[in-house]
């Protein structure tokens, strides 16, 4: 389903770019930039399945899942550059209106709406089972809104002759895309910097671990992810006198698994009355 949706969306992306230049529609070019996010989202979803499923090796002990994050970050940067071009071109067209071939603009946008609807239908069955497929589905859904905007702009131009509507629609689509692009860049940068994943609060995790019986103190608490849904945690515990280190580590891993949905945990312990360190890795 992902491959079919990608083939449809990629084909239309090329057609929309050509149509934007042929029919002199900045709105179509702006919508094509939005369509690019759909293509990127679908490619990222496929990469997450294909490349991300490769087993870790001697050089990449964490595997290849971070490749998805690199692709998403590149997509976000590219979209910002395209948005700058659209805004600059729109300002120029406000001062120097250009003739727009509204019928061609309308036909291309209508085809795009059909492609979006088909792609959404293809992705519906998997959107609740995969985080990446759901992301691609939402991208296609958002682009459908852009296609509706271009269709409305084309109809206004056709029946009123107001060519300035075209750059307005282009800017509106750009403003619609940019907030999501910023969120994408922010989240991917956070993953690359090994920041605390979105939705988790380090202080809450620290407090929950400290409340476990047998834990005297904790430090070197780190929470990070190698991709958008693969969270890891490591922590060093100082135990109370007489505490069973194996029992405490088990309580910590169970807590992080059940309450915070952190499934890959490394706990290092040191007893108050001993100098040796032990560690356990829980998957």
**Domains delineated in the chain:** 2-192 (1.20.1510.10), 202-282 (3.30.70.1350)
CA–CA separation, 125 vs 134, rounded Å?
Answer: 10
Question: What are the angstrom distances between the C-alpha of 211 and each of 205, 217, 251?
Answer: 10, 10, 11
61 three-state secondary structure: coil
What is the predicted pLDDT for the residue at 266? 92
Q: Tokens standing for 166?
A: 């075209």
The DSSP 8-state label assigned to residue 64 in this structure reads S
Helix H segments across the chain? 2-22, 26-50, 66-95, 102-124, 131-160, 165-192, 202-210, 245-260
The residues, any chain, with a CB within 8 Å of residue 273's CB and separated by 6 or more, are 241
Q: How far is CA 237 from CA 50, 231, 250, 274, in A?
A: 38, 20, 12, 13
Q: How far apart are CA 144 and CA 113, in angstroms?
A: 6
Beta bridge partners of 162: none
**Distance separating the N- and C-terminal Cα atoms of the chain:** 31
Q: 161 in the Ramachandran plot: left (φ > 0), alpha (ψ -120 to 50) or beta?
A: left
Inter-residue contact 272 to 240 (CB < 8 Å): yes
Which residues contact residue 135 at a Cβ distance below 8 angstroms, ignoring those fewer than 6 apart?
A: 41, 44, 45
For residues 147 and 119, the answer to whether their CB atoms sit within 8 Å is: no
pLDDT, tens digit only, all 283 positions of the chain: 778 888 888 888 888 888 888 888 877 887 787 778 778 777 877 776 777 677 777 887 777 777 777 777 777 787 787 778 778 877 877 777 667 777 887 888 888 888 888 888 887 776 565 555 666 676 677 677 777 888 888 888 888 888 888 888 878 877 877 787 788 788 888 888 889 988 899 999 999 999 999 999 999 999 998 876 678 999 999 998 888 889 999 999 999 999 998 989 999 988 755 434 444 455 5
């Amino acid at each position: 389903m992902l491959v079919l949706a990608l083939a449809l969306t990629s084909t239309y992306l090329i057609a929309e770019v050509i149509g934007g230049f042929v029919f002199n529609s900045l709105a179509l070019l702006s919508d094509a930039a939005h369509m690019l996010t759909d293509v990127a989202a679908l490619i990222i979803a496929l990469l997450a399945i294909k490349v991300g499923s490769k087993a870790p090796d001697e050089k990449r002990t964490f595997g290849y899942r971070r490749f998805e994050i690199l692709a998403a970050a590149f997509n976000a940067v590219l979209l910002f550059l395209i948005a700058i071009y659209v805004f600059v071109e729109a300002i120029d067209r406000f001062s120097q209106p250009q003739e727009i071939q509204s019928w061609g603009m309308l036909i291309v946008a209508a085809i795009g709406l059909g492609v979006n609807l088909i792609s959404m239908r293809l992705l519906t069955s998997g959107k609740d089972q995969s985080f990446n497929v759901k992301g691609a589905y939402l991208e296609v859904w958002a682009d459908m809104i852009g296609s509706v905007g271009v269709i409305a702009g084309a109809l206004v131009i056709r029946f009123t002759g107001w060519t300035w509507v075209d750059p307005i629609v282009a800017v509106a689509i750009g403003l619609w895309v940019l907030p999501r692009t910023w969120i994408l860049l922010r989240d991917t940068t956070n993953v690359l910097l090994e920041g605390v994943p979105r939705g988790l609060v380090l202080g809450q995790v620290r407090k929950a671990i400290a409340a476990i019986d047998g834990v005297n103190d904790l430090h070197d608490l780190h929470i990070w992810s190698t991709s958008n849904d693969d969270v890891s945690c490591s922590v060093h515990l100082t135990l109370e006198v007489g505490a069973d280190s194996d029992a405490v580590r088990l309580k910590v891993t169970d807590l992080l698994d059940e309450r915070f949905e952190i499934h890959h945990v490394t706990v290092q312990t040191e007893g108050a009355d001993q100098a040796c360190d032990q560690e356990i890795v829980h998957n």
